[in-house]
Structures are given as C-alpha cells and as structure tokens.
Amino acid sequence: MAFAPMGPEASFFDVLDQHRASLLAALRRGGGEPAGRGTCPASRFEDSVGLQMVSHCTMRKIKSDSLKSVKNFALILKVLSVIYKLVQSNTYATKRDIYYTDSQLFGNQAVVDNIVDNISCMLKVPRRCLHILSTSKGLIAGNLKYIEEDGTKVNCSCTTAVAVPSNIQGIWNAKFLLIVEKDATFQRLLDDNFCSKTSPCIMVTGKGVPDLNTRLLVRKLWDTFHIPIFTLVDADPHGIEIMCIYKYGSMSMSFEAHNLTVPAIRWLGLLPSDIKRLNIPKDTLIPLTKQDQKKLDSILKRPYVTCQPFWRQEMEIMADSKMKAEIQALTFLSSDYLSRVYLPNKLKFGGWI
C-alpha cells in the first residue's frame, strides 16, 4: 500500500470512522462495547469499566495497641504525615521520594508502594489526589499537543518520542491511538515514519507492563476524544496479559479501574490466526513454556473473556498450536512489513477484534 507524503488518502480512515461511530453509539447506550461484540452481566468486573473491587471484600485491621501490627501502624502514620504536608503545601512527590524520607524505617520501596495503594483504597481517592505521582517509563509520539500542569506546552512529533507526562491540562485530537507493547517495536515504527504515513494518529508504549501514568494517559485520551484505541502486542500470553491490563485493569489497582481502563480497546495484532494466514515459517515461532501455558489457562478462565468470543478463539488457536510469536516474526516477510503492509491493511480494512 502506498502513502502520500502528508498522510494517507481520506478513504483510509473510513472504517476507523465507522468504528468510532459504533463506539459513540455504545456510549450513548451506557456501555463500553459496540453492538454485536457481546455483553455479559457483571460479576467481578463491569464490561464498561473493567475489574472492580467486590463490595464484601475481606478487611485487614491494623491496631495501634497490638505488638504484631504496631510497626505497620507507625509506617502508615508516617506516610500519612508526608501526604498531609504535600497537600497543605500543594506540592507533589513520587513514591520513591517518600521512601527516601526515611529509607531505614521503610526498609524497601515495596513497603511504601503497598502503603500508598492501601491509603488510596482506604480513602477511595486516586493516588494523584494524595499528591503522589509515579515516575513515567512510557513514551508517546504522534499528532498530540498538550499543556503540562506547570503550563509547559508540549508538541509531540511523529518522528521522535517524549516521556508520558504525569499530568496534562490541555489536549488535542487524532484519528486513532495505537498502544505498542514493546519499546523496540515502538522505535522501529518511528524509524519507519509510521505516524507520518497514517497521520493524524498517536502512538504510546508502556515498555511492557504499563506504568500508572501511561494507563492514565490512555484513559485521558479516551475520555477526551473517544477515538478508536488499538493494541499491538506479541502473540503470546504475556502480550495478551498486558493488553488486558489496558482494557480491563489489574487486581492490585481494581479500586481505581474507572480512571485506568478503556474497555473499548481492540486487539489489532499480532493475532495467532495471522501466523497461519501470513504463512509465517514455523522456525520463527517459539514453543509455549509451562509458565506460558499456565498464564494462558488463567486468562481463558477470567470472566471478561466470556464477553470476548473472538479473543477466546485466538487464544484457543495459540493453545492448540502450543506456539507463540513475537511481532518481529513479521520481518521474515520483509524488514518493513509491519509498518508498510500489516498495520495499514489492518487499519484500513478493520482487521481488529
């Protein structure tokens, strides 16, 4: 498929525009999935929100007069005192900053991380309301302009990436958002000028399992524009797990799912069915490990998979073949097959599920 220097022809976006219209129609109906994809009653999750905390979850009590829990109680008070000072002074800190206020007292970073999550859950407010930020590891590129909280104006580029911001106040539009699992694939797409060729679009990567800021940004883009959002992940259980985090959230952050998930996200590739369809050689595939099979079985048992019959079909193909494939397997067809043929055709002809 050839592209004009300034972007694809208008007809390239026809199917994307139709998909966006179906998403908006679903929103008007009060759901997160377009008609025809299937819905199911909420159990441990809501199809329009993602994973949710159950109302009758077990509570853990920490008492100040108990020798067994006195240290935990003291640590919680320490973090609460830091939060109080941050809120009073209208300043912000990272969890790493809090750890270094008394590293010997906390012992390790994981202690602070757990306490902050527990406080956020206990007070039923997002972490940002506690004036605690996360250090970004994600990257973003494409047709996006935004204003950071301090007033700094950032104009993203289609050829270079910038770090995902911790907070944004202003934001501008694009036709679609592509979430890329791995940094290596993200950088290759930039090198191939994929953003310029499919402009206006936005690309983001969480460099594997996404950090909080990357998930917040994806949700912000959805809330602001309701543009189609697609994921490009390896055809393996780990890639599917990452996609599920963006779409449905994680158990550890289920109390904040409404701020972190976008159930309208679609799986663009690499699909297990693409491996056979494109005649990718077997010697480029990788056998599933026992850990892979365990992860795949776990995902197939999750309640939200029953709402995604097409996803289930793809995962069953993987389970039957006992093979997985990285996105880089497409380079067997040609070095730029991903950016020149695979993604443009998927986007133009609606090759997502």
CATH code (residue 201): 3.40.1360.10
Based on the fold, state whether residues 161 and 258 are members of the same structural domain. yes
Based on the fold, state whether residues 178 and 305 are members of the same structural domain. yes
Whether 39 shows a pLDDT value over 50: the answer reads no
* pLDDT > 70 fraction of the chain, expressed in percent and rounded: 82
Distance of CA 286 to the CA centre of its chain: 25
17 lies in a domain?
no
2 lies in a domain?
no
pLDDT value of residue 278: 93
Q: Give the domain CATH number at 85.
A: 1.10.10.10
Based on the fold, state whether residues 128 and 156 are members of the same structural domain. no
Based on the fold, state whether residues 226 and 123 are members of the same structural domain. no
Whether 286 shows a pLDDT value over 50: the answer reads yes
* pLDDT > 90 fraction of the chain, expressed in percent and rounded: 41
Task: Please report which confidence band the pLDDT of residue 43 belongs to, taking 50, 70 and 90 as the band edges.
Answer: very low
* pLDDT top residue among 226 and 62: 226
The model scores a pTM over 0.85: no
36 lies in a domain?
no
pLDDT value of residue 21: 92
List 84, 92, 100, 342, catalytic entry: 100
39 lies in a domain?
no
pLDDT value of residue 346: 95
Active site residue 337: no
Number of domains forming the structure of the chain: 2
| Mean per-residue pLDDT, 198-210 | 92
- Please give the residue range of the domain that contains residue 182: 139-349
319 lies in a domain?
yes
Whether 51 shows a pLDDT value over 80: the answer reads no
Task: Please report which confidence band the pLDDT of residue 10 belongs to, taking 50, 70 and 90 as the band edges.
Answer: low
Based on the fold, state whether residues 165 and 88 are members of the same structural domain. no
* pLDDT top residue among 155 and 338: 338
Based on the fold, state whether residues 113 and 208 are members of the same structural domain. no
Whether 181 shows a pLDDT value over 70: the answer reads yes
**Nearest Cα residue to 198 out of 140, 164, 158:** 158
Best-predicted range by mean pLDDT (159-168, 192-201, 318-327)? 318-327
41 lies in a domain?
no
pLDDT tens, 96-122? Answer: 888 888 888 888 888 988 888 888 878
pLDDT value of residue 123: 83
pLDDT value of residue 58: 56
Report helix angle 237-248 to 309-321, nearest 10.
160
| Mean per-residue pLDDT, 183-205 | 92
Based on the fold, state whether residues 252 and 204 are members of the same structural domain. yes
Whether 152 shows a pLDDT value over 60: the answer reads yes
| Mean per-residue pLDDT, 269-292 | 93
Task: Please report which confidence band the pLDDT of residue 35 belongs to, taking 50, 70 and 90 as the band edges.
Answer: very low
Based on the fold, state whether residues 82 and 172 are members of the same structural domain. no
